Structures are given as C-alpha cells and as structure tokens.
Structure 1
Amino acid sequence: MNELLGLVFSPWTEKARWALDVRRVPYTFRHYQPLIGEPALRAKLRRLTGRVSVPVLTTDEGRVLDGSTDIARWADGRGAGPTLFPAEHEAEIARFIELSERALTAGRARALSRMLADDEALAEMAPGPVRRALGPFASRLGALGVRRTLRKYDGHTADGETHRQALVAALDELRTTLARKTLAGTGPKTLLDSFTFADITMSQVLVNVKPPAELKLGAASRRCFSDPELGEPYADLIAWRDDLYRAFRTS
C-alpha cells in the first residue's frame, strides 16, 4: 500500500492528499512528528544534511517521492479522475505552482508570527500526550518548534509587510484570472479549461487567509491561521475555494 507521511494541518500535505484522492489512488496516511520523526525521515530520503520536510510518499513499488507537486504528478499517472497536468497547460500550471509557493511561504510566516503571541495556539502545536504532561509549559515547547520552523524556511528574514505584499499579490492574480473565466455548467470556475492541479495549489493560498473547515486545526491555531486583515477583502476567493472543495474534494 502507498503510504503518505505528512502533517494534517499543512497545506502542502493537503495538496498531495487532494491529488491522490481526486485520482482515486489508494494510500494510508501517517502523521509526521516534527523533531522526533526527523531522523527517520532523513533515512527514508537518504538525505543526512540539508532541509527535509513532508509530505513524503512511499509507493507500493518502493519509490520515495517528496514534495506535493512530485506526488501529484505521480498520482496523475495512476488511478482515474480529472487530469491534473494536461500537457497543453504545463507552463501555466508551473506558473501557478510557483505563485502559490511564494504565497504559502509568506502566509506561513505571518501565521506563525501571530502564533508566537498566542500561548493557547503554541500549546496546540505539541502532541496531545505531551501537552497534557507538560501542562502550562506546553506553550514553551510549541514556541521552540514555531521558531525553528521560521528559521528553517527563512520566515524570520523578511518583515511582515514584505510577506503581506507577497500574499496579496498572489490573491490579486488569482482574482484576476478567475474574473476572465466564464462559468461552465453548475460547478465553480476553474483556472484552466477544467479542474487541474492549478486549482488545488492556488486554493491552498487561502489557508492563510481563512482555513477551510476540512483542515484539522485546533481553535486557537485556526485563529492564528486566519488573517484578520485579508479575510473580508478576499471573501470572494474564500467562497471560490469552498465551492471547489464541495465540487472536487470528496475525501
């Protein structure tokens, strides 16, 4: 059986899961424990130094794929369902992937910065048994993990306004693209001629504006991932994302 290692609250993991699900590729999901699980992850990836992260898929053929895009491409060649990477749209999909990566990196930095000021959200970052054992000290452990993540992905090197501008630029481009599209049938608009990985990857940009109900977050973490400055101005895009989930996210 294919096994996906990931974080239930991560938009990168969600991109991989959505691709596997919409292509109806069977897999089991295993939750990754940061820090504790890193040695095993390095061994799996055969990467003793440098950055390692999830999602990582181990296929039933013994291949190890890391990164949501590579996992989605692999899924697109298996199962059945919408073609996620139609050949005629490769360049456009690549552009949307790059745009979403910049926006997600910026959004993560903003969300984690808010989290550092929220002890309840920091405590939620610790696994349940650890949180219960540490009590009020769980937030300190959570803060260590959040600061480590910011250092790992260079989220601490740019100021908040730079991150905000990167996120807003992606949201504005998403809105402009959708405005040029004509609604076909009763489903939501898609960025290309049909539902593709472009829709999956760009929909995740909204995680750091208002997380979808499907994303498993504690109440405090959801508060930190929600951007109070951008939620109302981009309510139309949140509604588009939610429509996309109802139409194409059945698992």
Structure 2
Amino acid sequence: MTELLGLVFSPWTEKARWALDVRGVPYTFRHYQPLLGEPALRLKLRRLTGRVSVPVLTADDGRVLSDSADIARWADGRGAGPTLFPAEHEAEIARIVDLSERALAAGRARALSRMLADDEALAEMAPPPIRRAHGALAARLGAFGVRRTLRKYGGHEDGAEAHLRTMVAALDELRATLARSATTGDGPRTLLGRFTFADIAMSQVLVNVAPPAALKLGAASRRSFSDPELRDRYADLVAWRDELYRAFRTA
C-alpha cells in the first residue's frame, strides 16, 4: 500500500492528500513527528545532511517522492477524477504553484511568529503526553520547535512587512485570476476554467489567513494561523476556498 507521511496541519501535506483523494488513489496516512521522526525520514530519503521535510510519499512501486506537486503529478497518472495537470495549462499551473509556494512560506513565517507570543498555542505543538503531564514544559518544547522551523526554512529575517507584501500580492493575483476565469456551471469558480492542481495550491495559501473548519487544529493554534489583517480584506477568497472544499474535497 502507498504511504503518505505528513503533518495534519500542514498545507503542503494537505495539497498532497487532496490530490490523492480527488484522484481516488488508495494510500495510508502516517503522522510525522518532528524531531523524533527525523532520523527515519533521512534514511527514507537517503539524505543524511541538509533540510528534510514532509510530505513524503512512498509509492507501492518503491518510489519515494518528497514534494507535494510531485506527489500530485504521481497521483494524476493513477486513479480517476479531475485531471490535475492538463497539458494545455502546464505553464500556467507551474506559475501559480510557484506563486503559492512563496505565499505559503510568507504565511508560515507570520503564523509561527504569532505563535511564539502564545504559550497555549505553543503547548499544542508538543506531543500530547507531554502536554497533559507538563504544561509549562510543553510550551517550552513548542517554542523550541517553532524557532527551529523558522531557522530551517529561513526568510523570517525578512520581517513582517515583507511577508505581508508577499501575501497581499499573491492574494490580489488570486482574486484577479478568479475574476478573469470562466465559470464552471453551478460549481465554484476555478482558476483555469476547470478544477486543477492550481486551485488546490492557491486554496492552501488561505490556511494562513483563515484555516478551514476541516483542518485539525487546537483552538489556540487556529488563533495563530488566523491573520486578522487579511481575513476580512479577503473574505471573498476565504468563501471561495470553502466552496472549493465543498465541491471537490469529499474524502
């Protein structure tokens, strides 16, 4: 059986899961435990130095894929359902995926910076046994993990204003592209006139604006991932994301 290793609250993991689910590809999901799970992940990826991250898919044919877009492409060649990478839209999908990656990185930096000021949210990042037994220790462990993540991916030194500009530029582009796109009958608008991986990728940018109800987050973590500066300004895009979930995220 194909296995997907990931984090339930990660938009990168969600991109991979959504692609697998919408194509009807069977797989087993396994939750990745940061820090504790890293040695095994390095062995799986055959990468003893450098940065490693999830999602990681181990296919039933032995292939190991460690990028959400690569996993989605793999899924697109299997199962059935909407074609996620139609040939006529390849270049535009690549452009939109790149835009989403930049915005996701900026959104992550903003969310984790908010989390560092919220001990309750930090405690929710710690493993449940530690959280139940040692509340104060859980918050310190959570802070260690959050700071490590910020260092790991970099960019946090760019500052809050730079990250805000990146997010605003991506969300404005999303709004403009949706306005130009053709409607798809009674369903939600899509970026390219049909549902593709571009919609999945850009919908995840909104996790760091207003997390979807389906995302498994504690109340304090949800507070950290919500961006008051952007939530009201882009309420139409949050509504679009929610409609997209209702129409295409059935698993």
TM tier relative to shorter chain:
over 0.9
- SS of the residue corresponding to residue 194 of structure 1 reads coil
Q: Which amino acid aligns with 2:190?
A: T
Alignment partners' CA distance in 1, 2:238 and 2:113: 22
Alignment partners' CA distance in 1, 2:216 and 2:162: 28
Q: What is the match of residue 211 of structure 1? A: 211
Q: What is the match of residue 160 of structure 1? A: 160
Structure-to-structure mapping, 1:1-251, within 5 angstroms = 1-251=1-251
Equivalenced residues, count:
251
Alignment partners' CA distance in 2, 1:124 and 1:108: 16
Aligned residues: CA RMSD: 0.7
Q: Which amino acid aligns with 2:86?
A: P
Contact 2:181–2:193 (CA<8 Å) still a contact in 1?
no
Q: Which amino acid aligns with 1:188?
A: P
Unmatched runs of 5 consecutive residues or more in structure 2: none
Q: Following TM superposition, by how much is the alpha carbon of 1:135 offset from its aligned partner in structure 2, in angstroms?
A: 2.2
**Percent of matched pairs sharing the same residue:** 80
Alignment partners' CA distance in 1, 2:184 and 2:89: 18
TM-score by structure 1 length? 0.99
- SS of the residue corresponding to residue 229 of structure 1 reads helix
Contact 2:184–2:190 (CA<8 Å) still a contact in 1?
no
Q: Which amino acid aligns with 1:6?
A: G
Unmatched runs of 5 consecutive residues or more in structure 1: none
Q: Following TM superposition, by how much is the alpha carbon of 1:181 offset from its aligned partner in structure 2, in angstroms?
A: 1.9
TM-score by structure 2 length? 0.99
